[in-house]
């Protein structure tokens, strides 16, 4: 009997018509049938668990060399990307002469720096957010950067004004705004397509 596929439907189980029980003996016999069927179900479920465990073990065994290969490739990528990063940092002005441009194209990939999606406020001195808030409390123009009732820096307000706060003002508050860059090498779509075709 062919196994059902996505294009074939599993035939519905025919509903069995069970006779009405009219005697004690009939009831006892039917209970026996029920317990036997329950044991069959338990055996079938055990078979499923055994076959599932075997399939998972076979899958794990089959994937192990692939996973090892991925780890080896990851180490190779990291080592080479580090060399590329060193060169790019040393020649950044040459590779990206426009300060606003943070990437450049090569025949096989785009290389560049992605800015972290979220900036963060970092305290410069050995003080916490409350210490910094108390220090600037009462200074005109800085009230909006203090959160009350417990005085502390309102970092969200500071980040919202990051484009208008001057270096001197940031220094006065005692903070710097960081938004790290992440180096990347992204294969071009045609390069990825060619690699996919080659491994297919």
List 103's β-bridge partners, or say none. 112
The 10s digit of each residue's pLDDT in 85-100 is: 999 999 999 999 988 8
Domain that holds residue 50: 23-90
Work out the pLDDT band at 79, boundaries 50, 70, 90: very high
Backbone φ, ψ for residue 148 (5° rounding):
-120, 165
The reply to whether 42 and 77 lie within a common domain is yes
Residue 104 lies in a domain: no
**Given phi > 0 = left and psi -120 to 50 = alpha, else beta, which region is 129?**
alpha
- pTM here? 0.52
Domain count, the chain: 2
Residue 3 lies in a domain: no
The reply to whether 51 and 85 lie within a common domain is yes
CB 123 within 8 A of CB 109: no
Q: Strands (DSSP E) along the chain, which ranges?
A: 103-105, 109-115, 120-123, 146-147, 152-153, 175-178, 181-187
Residue 39 lies in a domain: yes
The 10s digit of each residue's pLDDT in 32-43 is: 999 999 999 999
The reply to whether 61 and 119 lie within a common domain is no
């Amino acid at each position: 009997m062919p196994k059902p596929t996505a294009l074939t439907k599993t035939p519905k189980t025919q509903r069995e018509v069970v006779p009405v029980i009219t005697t004690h003996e009939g009831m006892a016999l039917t209970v026996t049938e029920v317990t036997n069927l329950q044991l069959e179900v338990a055996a079938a479920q055990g078979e499923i668990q055994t076959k599932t465990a075997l399939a998972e073990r076979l899958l794990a065994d089959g994937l192990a060399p692939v996973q090892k290969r991925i780890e080896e490739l990851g180490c190779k990528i990291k080592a080479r990307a580090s060399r590329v990063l060193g060169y790019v940092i040393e020649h950044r002005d040459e590779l990206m002469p426009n300060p606003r441009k943070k990437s450049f194209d090569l025949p096989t990939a785009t290389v560049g720096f992605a800015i972290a999606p979220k900036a963060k406020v970092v305290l410069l001195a050995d003080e916490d957010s409350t210490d910094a808030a108390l220090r600037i409390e009462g200074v005109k123009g800085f009230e909006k950067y203090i959160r009350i009732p417990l005085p502390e820096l309102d970092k969200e307000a500071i980040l919202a004004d990051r484009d208008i706060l001057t270096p001197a003002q940031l220094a006065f508050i005692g903070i710097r705004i960081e938004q790290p860059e992440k180096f990347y090498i992204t294969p071009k779509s045609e390069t990825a397509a060619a690699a996919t075709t080659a491994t297919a």
